[in-house]
Structure 1
Amino acid sequence: MELTALGLLVLGVLLAEPVSRGLAAARWPSRDPVGALLVWQAVGLAGGLALLGAGIVYGLAPLGPTLPSAVRALLADPFDLRLLGVTHALALIAAVLLAGWLVGVLAAVTFRTLRARRRHRDLLDLLATPWPAAPGARVLDHPVPVAYCLPGMRSRLVLSAGVLDALDPPAVRAVLAHERAHLRERHDLVVLPFVAWGTTAPFVQGMVCAQVAVAALIEMRADDVAAARVAPAELTGALRSMGGAAPAAALSSFTAALDRRLHRIVEPPPPLPLGLKVLVRAAAVALVALPTLLLLAP
């Protein structure tokens, strides 16, 4: 089992660093944001399984030739843990602690996010006014053009009065289509694990790259949905108006990212051929299957 543990460790490190950095720098995701998001989720899940599995497999190696047999032996006689050497016991303890830490951070981030959303939703219900022209949308009496969505079981779609003043009706429809894409496809759930993992290990550059790349991809996806429903010129005009409301202290990277989005809408890259799209999704499945098979192989 030591070789299996080593293979899982190498796989986890590769996915956490060089693979994540390479995927974040790749150009093809802009041609298939949905497929790229699936790959990112597979990288995160497979990396977590591999790193945690490496410690568990190595820790239980003295109890059997495979992980399933070692677990069966442990369940039959829990006192078999006394057979573990110091290094095996430390590896097992480290894996359990890491798993608990990851789950704890994810739970804490989820709890804080849900609590903040609940408070925000309560404030919106007090301060915002339902907009009959767009069912489900609410208008805040504020001159700065701002639009956003508050996801969840009781989601909210919010526009400021500045949006209605600054944009014509087609541009407003573009903004609504963009935000509704976020709500409908639950992009908040896609981003949440990457935020939690980035909080867990901010010193791992690959995780930081993953968080930034996933955030950019969900915006591309929402742009694609909106561009399919309204004229691209209306969408870019709306985004420019919204981007112009950024604070003066905003980093130049915000403007650069917005410019890249606008260019992509006006001159969309050619979509990946169907065969490559299928290959991307197959690769995502394979990424998750590999550590799973290594862990469960009899």
Structure 2
Amino acid sequence: MELTALGLLVLGVLLAEPVSRALAAARWPARDPVGGLLAWQAVGLAGGLSLLGSGVVFGLAPLGPTLRVATPAFVHALSAGGLPPQLDVLHLLALIAATVVALRLVGVLLAVTFRTLRARARHRDLLDLLGTPWPAAPGARVLDHPVPVAYCLPGLRSRLVLSAGVLDTLDPPGVRAVLAHERTHLRERHDLVVLPFVAWGATAPFVTGMVCAQIAVAALIEMRADDVAASRVAPKELVNALRSMGGAAPAAALSSFTAALEHRLERIEAPPPPLPVAVRVLVRLAAIALIALPTVLLLFG
């Protein structure tokens, strides 16, 4: 099992740093944002399984040839009121380190989720108090504010918000483009796509690859929403709408507009050619294989 643990550690480190940096710098995800998001999900999940699993596998190595054999032996020893005598200090430290990192990651994820849900609940209450339902777009609310702002508030009771400035500034196709963009965020739950990477970044902010992942995923969900909106209206209408909006959005909202707005506008006006079908299929198969690799090593290695 020591070799399996070493393999998992190497895989985890590679995914957390050089692979994440390379994927963040790659240009092909802009040609297939859905495939890029799947690739990032695979990198994040496989990297987490590998790094945490390496400590567990190494720590339990003296108890059996595989994790399926060693884990019951470890649990049996704990239930008997003690630690297995086969475990020395080094193996115990590996188990402790894996446990601490796992608890830290879960704790950060829960804390971020709790803070986000609480902020959204307060924001939702304010919107229900101050916003006016807009019959022309079911589920949308209009805020009486002259600055053109549009955003969505995800969740089980999601909200789609427009300011009065949007309706005054944009023509009907532009409003439809903005609504299509925001509804894509809500429908595809992009807030949940970003959340694990926020947790990873908060858990290990010193790892550059984690920061790159968070930024890249945020950019890709905007590209995906832009693509859907551009398929509903003329790309020129979407560009004009986004430029008029200026990128403003309240805190605690999943903003449609980022610091990379100009890059997004260029991409909408001159969209890159989509990846060939065979390549898109290969990206998805590679994502599945990447997740399967540490899983197989943990179960059978």
User: How high is the TM-score relative to the length of structure 2?
Assistant: 0.94
Shift of 1:69: 1.1
Q: Is the aligned partner of 1:108 residue 2:134? A: no
Q: Is the aligned partner of 1:212 residue 2:207? A: no
| C-alpha RMSD of matched pairs (Å) | 1.5
User: Within 2, Cα distance between the matches of 1:245 and 1:119?
Assistant: 20
Alignment equivalent of 2:237, drawn from 217, 234, 240 = 234
Counterpart of 1:34 in structure 2 is: 34
Shift of 1:65: 1.2
SS in structure 2 of the partner of residue 132 of structure 1 = coil
SS in structure 2 of the partner of residue 159 of structure 1 = strand
Go from structure 1 to structure 2 and tell me whether the alpha carbon gap of 1:227 and 1:215 turns closer, same or farther (over 3 Å shift): same
Shift of 1:74: 2.2
Go from structure 1 to structure 2 and tell me whether the alpha carbon gap of 1:160 and 1:31 turns closer, same or farther (over 3 Å shift): same
User: How high is the TM-score relative to the length of structure 1?
Assistant: 0.95
Question: How many aligned residue pairs are there?
Answer: 292
Question: Which one-letter code corresponds to 1:172 in the other structure?
Answer: V
Question: Which one-letter code corresponds to 1:158 in the other structure?
Answer: V
Shift of 1:82: 2.8
SS in structure 1 of the partner of residue 85 of structure 2 = helix
Question: Deviations along 1:206-245, whole A, 9 cap, x unmatched?
Answer: 0000000000000000000000000101000000011265
Counterpart of 2:132 in structure 1 is: 129
Contact map agreement 2:151 2:249 (CA 8 A) in 1: no
Shift of 1:263: 1.0
Counterpart of 2:270 in structure 1 is: 267
Counterpart of 1:250 in structure 2 is: none
SS in structure 1 of the partner of residue 224 of structure 2 = helix
Shift of 1:255: 7.9
Question: Which one-letter code corresponds to 2:192 in the other structure?
Answer: L
Q: Is the aligned partner of 1:83 residue 2:83? A: no
SS in structure 2 of the partner of residue 81 of structure 1 = coil
SS in structure 1 of the partner of residue 162 of structure 2 = strand
Q: Is the aligned partner of 1:171 residue 2:174? A: yes
SS in structure 2 of the partner of residue 109 of structure 1 = helix
Q: What does 1:239-254 align with in structure 2 at a 5 Å threshold?
A: 239-243=242-246
Question: Which one-letter code corresponds to 2:115 in the other structure?
Answer: R
Q: What does 1:280-291 align with in structure 2 at a 5 Å threshold?
A: 280-291=283-294
Question: Deviations along 1:15-35, whole A, 9 cap, x unmatched?
Answer: 000000000000000000001
User: Within 1, Cα distance between the matches of 2:113 and 2:291?
Assistant: 23
Q: What does 1:2-21 align with in structure 2 at a 5 Å threshold?
A: 2-21=2-21
User: Within 1, Cα distance between the matches of 2:249 and 2:283?
Assistant: 35
Contact map agreement 1:63 1:80 (CA 8 A) in 2: no
Contact map agreement 1:24 1:213 (CA 8 A) in 2: yes
Counterpart of 2:164 in structure 1 is: 161
Question: Deviations along 1:152-206, whole A, 9 cap, x unmatched?
Answer: 0000000001111111111001000000000000000000111111111111100
Shift of 1:71: 1.1
SS in structure 1 of the partner of residue 44 of structure 2 = helix
User: Within 2, Cα distance between the matches of 1:163 and 1:137?
Assistant: 13
